[in-house]
Structure 1
Amino acid sequence: MKSRQLIVSIVALASLLLASYSCASERKAERFITKNGMTILLLERDSLPFITVNVTIRAGSVFEAAEKAGLASITADLLTEGTQSRSASQISEEIDFIGGSLSSSGGIDYSSASLKVLTKDSDKGFNLLADILRRPSFSDMEIERSMSQIKAGIISKEDDPSTVATEAFNKALFGDHPYARPAEGTLESLENIGREDIINFHKKLYRPNNVIMAVVGDIDKRSLKKLLKKHFGSWEKRALPLPEPVMAEQIKGMKVELIDKKISQANVQLGHIGIRRENPDFYATYVMNYILGGGGFVSRLMTEIRDNRGLVYSVYSYFNPLKDPGPFKIGLQTKNESAREAIDESLSQMKNMAKNGVTEEELRSAKDYLIGSFPLRFTTNAKIASYLSYMEIYNLGLDYLDKFPKIIEALTVNDINRAAKKYLHPENYLLVVVGDKEEIGKL
């Protein structure tokens, strides 16, 4: 009953936000491509005098060699650490002086940079953004400093059972596919990366025709085009070497990996390869997983394993659909002694979903929440810019914000049940457990 009341409250709040968002977004997002190939998405919102820019570059870790894992991440991290005309401290001082923010980071499929400035400082902001994207210096001093920070982070991860489990899960699940590797690399792979590798990676992939730029805020199309021409117009496009990685194969049967650590809680991750985002069944799978384990306290996994059996504080499931099929995973933490019971019940819920599907009541409740909470994703310009980039990456169309609720509402029980049978594999899965082997016993 409390869970139902929580859903009603969230939907009511989201409805208020939706009304606010609808008023703010009477202007529709526009899309255009510059002469040098940059894909630009613009949504004018003049309620506040600032703009947010989200730049997405198809230059993630999938485009690095396995022996140089971490190359994409360190390249992105170093963008704000100095250019040919500015030191790292100068970049920081200049953006701070105008009260803005500028950052960059690397990811799996993509790397990104973001800018937030007052509209009156947009010229200065775009100057800084163009400088870090086009002319990073990659100085030996900054590379060494960044490498040291990354290595310290890698070493510290060894003390986090959840991270140990996640990295072991990805490695065993994806094999030779780049998704198997941590984006920041390993201590061994970082030793193989030199300054020339970073320069060449940037030169090869950081090109205007490999960029999506989403701009949200108090700026019109004409003003934006002037800024783009001034600061990015001379950026030369180039043919892009974007090799397609070898697809990972599904797990056959049961594969178990137990990592022995003398800790009181077992960290469990169970799953298999899922779907890619462009899969037409994404929406049915999304709703199905919400009912199974993505819906927090109202999910089946949480109800049975936490509420009814008291085995865990939290348990979840998710599909992570990427450019290539990402993982499907059930994750939980429990006492070492109860790990086997929690695993068995997780598999039981997975089997029941695949065999028997969902009820009309479960589907109605899931729709109410997913449709009602959808506007919560767009409460800031930064969130909107990020989502516009997401829509472009996966070819969802500029009308996606209008389409999404309609697509979810149109799904039937048969759609959800078909997806459950097709994309859940309770007989073929990978199980990774980090915990005290002696207390856990046989898996």
Structure 2
Amino acid sequence: MAARACLAFAGALCLAHPAWALLPIQHWTEPSGARVWLVESPAIPMVDVQVDFDAGARRDPAAQAGLASAVAAMSSKGVRAQGDEPAMDENALGEAWADLGASFEAAADRDGLSFSLRSLTEPDLLDRAARLAARQLAQPSFPQDIWQRERSRWAAALKESETRPGTAAAKAFGSAVYGTHPYGQRTTPDTLGRIEIADMQAYHGRVETCRARVSIVGAVTRPQAQALVATLLSQMPARDPATCQPLPPVPEVQALAAPVQQDIPFASAQAHVLIGQPGFARRDPDFLALLVGNHILGGGGFTSILTSEVREKRGLSYSVYSQFSPGLNTGVFLVGLQTRPDQAAEAVKVSRDVLARFVAQGPTEAQLKAAKDNLIGGFALRIDSNRKLLANVVNIAWNDLPLDYLEHWTDRVQALTAADVRAAMARKLQPDRMVTVVVGGQP
């Protein structure tokens, strides 16, 4: 079975559809309340499924930062006995998935807790994979001895990371930009020490089918997809969708009231520099204009303005970049670079000047055309496999974007003007009220 999976994957490289964006996205709501997005992609006999819940790190209690990630990590460490099905430890689970030639993974990020299934679509294999995934999704055993082991490893890795200047920079920057917002919470050995099995069980118990968002890409029809979703969610507690109440809202990220400068001594050969502020949420209508603007400013690699001014003209850093990181709440905007400690002040000044000038003036027509050509020309690479297409469908599902979002993406990017980009950047960025963190060198 594993060999067949490998052959199918090899076939995917040869049979990838050249016009994924034209494949229609179907959307419906199951009787359980789960919302489903489906792209039928029959070229290869495989299916990718992702089940998402609003249960990411932004829902972690502050004193237990890392709880969502702990639940995700422990989901593969064993399942409870159920009816005639015996309990399985992590080794038995791994062997079962290997025998099926399929995979099932869990992950948590700042917004969501997600479970991902990949399988061949032969009916018997897919049914068995879906049933095993249903058990792992709904019946994790959270073994105490395994959690002690994993928590010790995780805590040791966190302590080791504290020896790096990049960690110190990210920690100070996140705290200054986000304040007390959950996006600014960081997992530490102390917060891990407060997470017990009962906490993970309670957190997992709040994951309900009526709040599931299921994205599917692969060689399945709608009836087959409906049967697949029903099986995947069959072991979770049943609840009338009419009684499914909205989750409490997460507070919004507050704008910065004044600039913040932090110079942190650190024994390192390079100074780590981060400059930024709160940006925007993913659903913001300015998203595409900001995507293009950031590509020109510092997201386009060696073609960006920051690279030209900081690296090529002045030799202050080998690389420099800018990025927006939008989420369900307002994510961060940042400019990042590394430089010699004695050059840090000059690198900060040049980067700030470039940013302020770009926000005030916007791109030139030549810069805008080059960015559009690059983004539109590379669009096919964003959707050239089932897994990449699934990521785009998840984005549509998670952020309630139109079903034709991918179909019109290139047209919407092409229609942007320099004035659109300049106005969007000016609405979101305040160069005179940003956080600047420099880690490295002596006081």
Counterpart mapping for 1:32-111 below 5 A: 32-84=28-80, 85-111=87-113
> For 2:155 and 2:29, how far apart are their aligned partners in 1?
39
2:385 corresponds to which residue?
380
Q: List per-residue Cα deviations over 1:291-336 (Å, max 9, x = no partner).
A: 1111111100001111111111110001111111111100000111
| 2:84 match | none
For 1:424, which of 429, 434, 439 is the aligned residue? 429
The answer to whether the 8 Å contact 2:21/2:406 transfers is: no
The residue number in structure 2 matching 1:207 is 208
Query: Which residue of 408, 412, 417 maps to 2:417?
Result: 412
**Aligned equivalent of 1:337, options 339, 342, 349:** 342
Say yes or no: does 1:114 pair with 2:119. Answer: no
Kindly state the Cα deviation for residue 22 of structure 1 after the two structures are TM-superposed. Answer: 4.6
- The one-letter amino acid paired with 2:114 is S
CA distance in 1, matches of 2:135, 2:251: 35
Is 2:51–2:115's contact at 8 Å kept on the other side of the alignment? yes
Q: TM-score, normalised by structure 2?
A: 0.90
Measured in 1, the distance between the counterparts of 2:314 and 2:416 equals 32
**1:323 and 2:328 matched:** yes
Are residues 307 and 211 of structure 1, via their aligned partners in 2, closer, same or farther at CA, if it must alter by over 3 Å? same
SS at match of 1:401: coil
Rounded to whole Å, the distance in 2 between the matches of 1:300 and 1:431 is 19
> Hey, what's the Cα distance between the residues in 2 that align with 1:23 and 1:423?
34
Partner-residue secondary structure (3-state), 1:333 = strand
Q: Cα deviation per residue 1:83-106 (whole Å; 9 max; x = unaligned)?
A: 113211111100011222221111
The one of 401, 405, 427 aligned to 2:406: 401
Q: What is the SS of the residue equivalent to 1:358?
A: coil
3-state DSSP class of the match of 1:215? strand
Paired-residue identity, %:
32
SS of the counterpart of 1:379? coil
Deviates more, 1:303-312 or 1:208-217: 208-217
Structure 2 residue identity aligned to 1:149: R
Select 1:191's aligned residue among 190, 193, 196: 193
Question: 2-side partners of 1:25 and 1:287: how far apart?
Answer: 20
Unaligned stretches of 5+ residues in structure 2: 1-12, 81-86
Q: With the length of structure 1 as denominator, give the TM-score of the two structures.
A: 0.90
Match of 2:151 among 140, 147, 151: 147
Return the alpha-carbon distance in structure 1 between the equivalents of residues 21 and 303 of structure 2.
Answer: 32
CA distance 1:433–1:252, shift in 2 (3 Å): same
Question: Aligned pair in 2 of structure 1 residues 24, 250: CA closer, same or farther (>3 Å)?
Answer: closer
- Which of 282, 291, 297 is equivalent to 1:286? 291
Corresponding residue SS for 1:400: coil
Letter in 2 for 1:327: V
Following the alignment from structure 1 to structure 2, what is the Cα–Cα distance between the partners of residues 308 and 231? 56
Q: Give yes or no for contact 1:350–1:424 (8 Å, CA) kept in 2.
A: no
Contact 1:391 1:397 in 2 (8 A): yes
Determine if contact 1:21/1:378 at 8 Å carries over to the other structure.
Answer: no
Q: Distance in 2 between matches of 1:25 and 1:346?
A: 37
| Structure 1 position 234, deviation (Å) | 5.7
Q: Which moved more, 1:29-38 or 1:234-243?
A: 234-243
What corresponds to 2:10 in structure 1?
A: none
Matched position secondary structure for 2:158? helix
Closer, same or farther in 2 for the Cα pair 1:297/1:123, shift >3 Å?
A: same
The equivalent residue for 1:5 is: none
2:147 and 2:371 mapped to 1: Cα distance? 47
Matches within 5 A, 1:350-389: 350-389=355-394
Q: Is the CA contact (8 Å cut-off) linking 2:58 and 2:183 kept in structure 1?
A: yes
Q: Is the 8 A contact 1:357 1:417 kept in 2?
A: yes
- The whole-number CA distance in structure 1 between the counterparts of 2:249 and 2:164 is 33
Contact 1:63 1:243 in 2 (8 A): no
Equivalent-residue separation in structure 1 for 2:354 and 2:232 (angstroms): 55
Question: For the residues of structure 1 that align with 2:415 and 2:92, how far apart are their CA atoms?
Answer: 53
Q: How far, CA to CA, are the matches of 1:252 and 1:22 in structure 2?
A: 48
Give me the whole-angstrom Cα distance separating, in 2, the residues matched to 1:364 and 1:20: 29
Query: In the alignment, which of 161, 185, 203 is matched to residue 181 of structure 1?
Result: 185
Work out the CA distance in 2 between the residues paired with 1:157 and 1:241: 37
SS at match of 2:49: strand
- Residues in 2 aligned to 1:118 and 1:373: alpha-carbon distance in whole angstroms: 29
Cα RMSD between the aligned structures?
1.8
Q: Give 1:358's aligned amino acid.
A: P
Unaligned runs of 5+ residues in structure 1 are: 1-16, 439-443
Secondary structure (helix, strand or coil) at the match of 2:319 reads strand
Task: Tell me how many residue pairs correspond in the alignment.
Answer: 418
Q: Tell which deviates more after alignment, 195-204 or 221-230.
A: 221-230
- Aligned AA for 2:432? E
Q: Is the 8 A contact 2:20 2:384 kept in 1?
A: no
Q: Does 1:433 align with 2:429?
A: no
Paired amino acid for 2:324: F
Give, in whole Å, the separation in 2 of the partners of 1:239 and 1:229.
18
Matching residue's letter, 2:336? G
Q: Give me the whole-angstrom Cα distance separating, in 2, the residues matched to 1:24 and 1:326.
A: 29
Matched-pair contact (CA < 8 Å) for 2:356–2:431:
yes
Q: Secondary structure at the match of 1:268?
A: strand
Pairing 1:219–2:220 present? yes
Q: Secondary structure at the match of 2:194?
A: coil
1:23 Cα offset (Å): 4.6
The AA in structure 1 aligned to 2:256 is I
Which whole-Å CA distance do the structure 2 matches of 1:394 and 1:320 have between them? 14
CA distance in 1 between counterparts of 2:434 and 2:250 reads 22
